Amino acid sequence: MKASINWLKEFVDFSAKPIEIANALTMAGLEVEGVEEVDGDTILEVNITPNRADCLSIIGVAREIAASLSLPFKKSKIPVIKEEFGAPEIEIKAPELCRRYASRIIRGVKIAPSPEWLSKRLEAHAIRSINNVVDATNYVLLEMGQPLHAFDLNNLTGHGIVVDKAGSIDKFFTLDNEERALETDTLMIWDKEKPVAVAGVMGGLNTEVTLSTSDILLESAYFNPPSVRRASKALNLSTESSYRFERGVDINAVVTALERAVDLILQTAGGKAGKLTDIHPKPLALRQISVGLSKINKIIGVSLKDSEVQDILTRLGFDNKKTGDTFVVIPPSFREDIQQDIDIIEEIARLYGYDKIPVTFPKVRLTPVKVNTHRNLIKITKDFLRRSGYSEVINYSFLNPSVFDKLRLSPDDKRRNTIKIKNPLRKEENSVRTTLIPALLGNIGLNINHGEKSLRFFELSKVFLPSKEKLPEEPLHLGAVCLKDSRMPSSIWEGKHECFYDLKGALENLMAELKVKDYSFVDTDSCEPYLHPGKSCTIKVNNEVIGSLGVLHPAAAEALELTGDIALFELNLSSLFLHILPKITYKSLPKYPYVERDISIVVSKDINAADIENAIARIDSNLIEGITLFDIYTGSPIPKDKKSLAFSIRFRAEDRTLTDAEVDVLHSKMVSLLESSFKAELRS
């Protein structure tokens, strides 16, 4: 809100410079965000928090200046209006939505531009000058925070007002010449026949004050704040008036503001005023709030004396009396925000000065701290992937579902069933994501466009899946993607292997560090529609599929306009974390030496190394301690459809030193098994 220093000075005498006033207001909770000199005046830009409806006016800000600088606040005198004819007829049919309605008629006004002092002041406060009558209402709105409305009396059928809901009327032209759809509950101002204003939001075109207007009916009212807010939201129309009504105006100042406006109109537009109508069925009973001195001091962490508290309350205009330890406080009608003792404690802290509250340190009671293992696992996961060369990315949770077609997901794929946002920022991005893959591939695309050739990214984030509960499931997913240019390795040590193995290695390394029990990479054809059917596998833990890993399918790559050797995986980390060995158990060290034998075989390319290893291990699980694949070779002199594999096998017995003869037996068993099961040929 804007506030002119000159205008403020009409209500509080201060000699401090504008910048000092700005600072005092900021430190009292009315943050001044700008100080601008305009035409011999200084305009403060004050940020008023939603609880301080009383400060949405010049007198409100002036009261704060007076309270924080301990200066007297000059109350304006209520003008005495000379009444020359009768009062308007007002009826409130929805008393729960309109607690007070006051009005006077002024006849014989001459509509003209406002005097310069008035129009200048409005414009300095970002309100356009219209004519002397409308400007007078806006002037009082700025000065006192009470919105007023002037109707052209001669367009009001029956020259009276009825306050009632819209009911069956569903369309209405507002002053801004827009036809607005109404809800049945919207509170309207009616004449004897038709609606003439959306209460508290905007007047109607049908009763607008124009150059030909001679008689007006002036409205000053108190409308129920939530009702005005609902109306304003429904119409998508926020005005200076609705802004103040929805925060709450001072119900006890409704008539004062009316009189101020009538007086101003008589001065600037001439005319004669009639008698006052003031419908105020249930006058406000001021709240009485008790607060103990000891509680004040305990919560703020100070040791204020009675007199200091009393001084602050008095500066704020709060009636107060002390009995025993307790202050009985009566806040004024414009402080609707003061509801309970803690609100008064805040007022005291605020005016005492937050900066004067001594810094202390909380005394804590020792309590057992539960270790957040989940968080530790996340930390290990992130650290390990980084050590494997992968950088962390963070993407938005929003998703454009059209990407699912590019990823070739089948129409019934679960991931297409996304949770939708009712009011997305961009219409296409109307979902929250069910998979991390699209964003990760997007990151690759962006960086390829910058000329990057080697990229390794991972993201660890929740995805959102519909559930039977009110809230969706939010499993934690881990995704990673690797792009390599094998012709131009990023370091001289980097091998020429496919980036599939780079990514798989990072994941296996992580599994080992996390001590995941019983995981495997299972070769299935086309485990994911966006993965290369010959270069992909599912990731299983304890026989549960938790994700998949593979090379991006060329068709998906084309749809996403990506090129290069790209491998990626996504897995459900929440599921993975359930399969972590609970603790490490020590096994005693072997007492007898091992014997190592190498075996080199040629098999068909279709045979997976893991199947061979498993077969070897089953020959004698007691004596075969370990199997290591140490070479894969294709090319001359190996036939085209075959590959050569070399394993190193370590034998050991728990209770004796193995003899060569024993190992020979095992070795020949192994050879005949490989020959029979895998049609393997021994390489010499």
Partner 1 sequence: MVEDILSIKAIAEEEIKGANDLKAIQSLRVKYLGKKGVLTDKIKSLGSVPKEIRPEYGKTLNETKNHIESILNQKESFFKASELESGLKANRIDVTVPGNFIPAGHKHPISRVLDEIVDVFSSLGFVIEEGPEIELDYYNFEALNIPRDHPARDMQDTFYITDDVVLRTHTSPVQVRVMQKNKPPLRVIAPGKVYRCDADVTHTPMFHQIEGFMVDEHISMGDLKGALELFLHAIFGEDTGVRFRPSFFPFTEPSAEVDIACVMCGGTGCRLCKGSGWIEILGCGMINPKVFEMVGYDPEKYTGFAFGMGIERITMLKYGIDDLRLFFENDKRFLEQF
**Nearest of 503, 497, 593 to residue 549 by alpha carbon:** 503
The reply to whether 421 sits near partner 1 by the rule CB under 8 A is yes
Tokens of 642: 């075959």
Between 234 and 615, CB nearer to partner 1: 234
204 in Cβ contact with 175 (< 8 Å): yes
The only residue of 210, 288, 294, 372 in contact with partner 1, by rule CB under 8 A: 372
- 234, 403, 608 from 184: Cα distances, Å: 11, 42, 71
Q: Which own/partner pairs from 346-350 qualify as long-range (CB within 8 Å, at least 24 positions apart)?
A: 347/312, 347/313, 347/316, 347/318, 348/296, 348/300, 348/304, 348/309, 348/312, 348/313, 349/300, 350/28, 350/29
The reply to whether 657 sits near partner 1 by the rule CB under 8 A is no
The interface mask with partner 1, positions 227-246, x = CB under 8 A, is --xx---------------x
**Nearest of 319, 312, 315 to residue 333 by alpha carbon:** 319
Smallest separation, CB 385 to partner 1 (Å): 7
Site for partner 1 in 260-279 (CB under 8 A): none
The interface mask with partner 1, positions 60-79, x = CB under 8 A, is --------------------
Q: Which stretch binds partner 1 (CB under 8 A): 8-16, 323-331, 455-463, 565-573?
A: 455-463
Distant-in-sequence, close-in-space partners of 191: CB < 8 Å, separation ≥ 6: 156, 157, 158, 159, 160, 161, 162, 207
Site for partner 1 in 571-610 (CB under 8 A): none
The reply to whether 50 sits near partner 1 by the rule CB under 8 A is yes
The reply to whether 357 sits near partner 1 by the rule CB under 8 A is yes
Smallest separation, CB 546 to partner 1 (Å): 21
Classify residue 87 by its DSSP letter. P
The reply to whether 392 sits near partner 1 by the rule CB under 8 A is yes
The interface mask with partner 1, positions 169-208, x = CB under 8 A, is ----------------------------------------
List residues bridging with 102 in a β-sheet: 220, 278
Distance CA 216, CA 156 (A): 9
The only residue of 369, 584, 589, 661 in contact with partner 1, by rule CB under 8 A: 369
Our measurement of the distance from residue 184's CA atom to the centroid of its chain's CA atoms, rounded to an integer in Å, reads 32
The reply to whether 683 sits near partner 1 by the rule CB under 8 A is no
Tokens of 55: 């400060």
The reply to whether 49 sits near partner 1 by the rule CB under 8 A is yes
Distance CA 234, CA 182 (A): 8
Our measurement of the distance from residue 108's CA atom to the centroid of its chain's CA atoms, rounded to an integer in Å, reads 54
The reply to whether 388 sits near partner 1 by the rule CB under 8 A is yes
Number of Cβ within a 10 Å radius of residue 317: 15
Smallest separation, CB 562 to partner 1 (Å): 15
The reply to whether 661 sits near partner 1 by the rule CB under 8 A is no
Between 395 and 520, CB nearer to partner 1: 395
649 in Cβ contact with 619 (< 8 Å): no
Q: Counting every residue, how long is the chain? A: 684
| Three-state DSSP class for residue 511 | helix
The reply to whether 346 sits near partner 1 by the rule CB under 8 A is yes
233 in Cβ contact with 239 (< 8 Å): no
Distance CA 392, CA 66 (A): 54
Residue 650, H or E segment? strand 642-651
Between 42 and 256, CB nearer to partner 1: 42
Size of site (CB under 8 A) for partner 1: 87
Between 33 and 91, CB nearer to partner 1: 33
| Three-state DSSP class for residue 474 | coil
The only residue of 211, 285, 359, 661 in contact with partner 1, by rule CB under 8 A: 359
The reply to whether 432 sits near partner 1 by the rule CB under 8 A is yes
The reply to whether 27 sits near partner 1 by the rule CB under 8 A is yes
The only residue of 16, 130, 419, 559 in contact with partner 1, by rule CB under 8 A: 419
Smallest separation, CB 159 to partner 1 (Å): 34
The reply to whether 385 sits near partner 1 by the rule CB under 8 A is yes
Smallest separation, CB 425 to partner 1 (Å): 5
Q: Which stretch binds partner 1 (CB under 8 A): 47-55, 84-92, 322-330, 521-529?
A: 47-55
Site for partner 1 in 279-308 (CB under 8 A): 298-302
The reply to whether 496 sits near partner 1 by the rule CB under 8 A is no
330 in Cβ contact with 319 (< 8 Å): yes
The reply to whether 222 sits near partner 1 by the rule CB under 8 A is no
Q: Which stretch binds partner 1 (CB under 8 A): 79-87, 304-312, 382-390, 405-413?
A: 382-390
Between 192 and 420, CB nearer to partner 1: 420
The only residue of 154, 310, 400, 447 in contact with partner 1, by rule CB under 8 A: 447
Distant-in-sequence, close-in-space partners of 553: CB < 8 Å, separation ≥ 6: 408, 529, 530, 531, 532, 533
- Count of alpha carbons within 13 angstroms of residue 435, beta-carbon side: 25
Smallest separation, CB 446 to partner 1 (Å): 7
Smallest separation, CB 324 to partner 1 (Å): 17
The reply to whether 638 sits near partner 1 by the rule CB under 8 A is no
The reply to whether 489 sits near partner 1 by the rule CB under 8 A is no
Q: Which stretch binds partner 1 (CB under 8 A): 23-31, 145-153, 632-640, 671-679?
A: 23-31
The reply to whether 345 sits near partner 1 by the rule CB under 8 A is yes
Smallest separation, CB 439 to partner 1 (Å): 8
Which is it for strands 89-92 and 160-165: parallel, antiparallel or unpaired? parallel
Helices (H), 170-305: 225-235, 240-247, 254-269, 293-300
The reply to whether 491 sits near partner 1 by the rule CB under 8 A is yes
Between 471 and 488, CB nearer to partner 1: 471
Smallest separation, CB 58 to partner 1 (Å): 20
- 55, 385, 586 from 513: Cα distances, Å: 60, 11, 16
| Three-state DSSP class for residue 158 | helix
Distance CA 385, CA 578 (A): 19
